Amino acid sequence: MKIITGGVCAAKGFKASGIHCGIRKNRTKKDLALIYSECPAKAAAVYTTNLVKGAPLTVTKNHIADGIAQAVICNSGNANTCNANGMEIAEQMSDLLAAELGIQSADVVVASTGVIGQPLDITPIKNGIPALVAGLSYDGCDAAAEGIMTTDTVKKEVSVEFTLGDKTCHIGGIAKGSGMIHPNMATMLVFITTDVAISAEMLQKALSSDIANTFNMVSVDGDTSTNDMVTVLANGMAGNEEITEDGENFATFMKALNTVTVNLCRMIAGDGEGATKLLECKTWGAKDNATAKTVAKSVICSSLLKAAMFGADANWGRVLCAIGYSGADVDVNRVDVSFKSKAGEILVCKNGAGVEFSEEKAKEILLEHDITILIALGDGMGCATAWGCDLTYDYVKINGDYRT
CA distance 357 to 293: 28
Q: Which residue is catalytic, options 81, 113, 187, 283?
A: 187
**Three-class SS state of 357:** coil
Query: Are the beta carbons of 197 and 242 closer than 8 angstroms?
Result: yes
Please give the DSSP secondary-structure letter assigned to residue 241.
P
Strand-pair category, 278-286 with 229-234: unpaired
Bond into 296 cis (ω within 30): no
Residues ≥6 apart with Cβ < 8 Å to 86: 54, 55, 56, 80, 120
Task: Return the closest-CA partner of residue 62 out of 30, 93, 87.
Answer: 87
Task: Give bridge partners of residue 285 from the DSSP assignment.
Answer: none
CA distance 236 to 243: 10
- Catalytic residue at 372? no
Query: Are the beta carbons of 244 and 199 closer than 8 angstroms?
Result: yes
Environment class of residue 402 by beta-carbon count within 10 Å: exposed (0-12), middle (13-18) or buried (19+)?
A: middle
Query: On the CB side of 280, how many CA atoms lie within 13 Å of its CA?
Result: 18
Helix (H) or strand (E) holding 287: none
CA distance 374 to 388: 14
Residues ≥6 apart with Cβ < 8 Å to 233: 14, 35, 37, 41, 42, 43, 69, 70, 72, 109, 191, 192, 193, 194
Residues with catalytic roles: 187
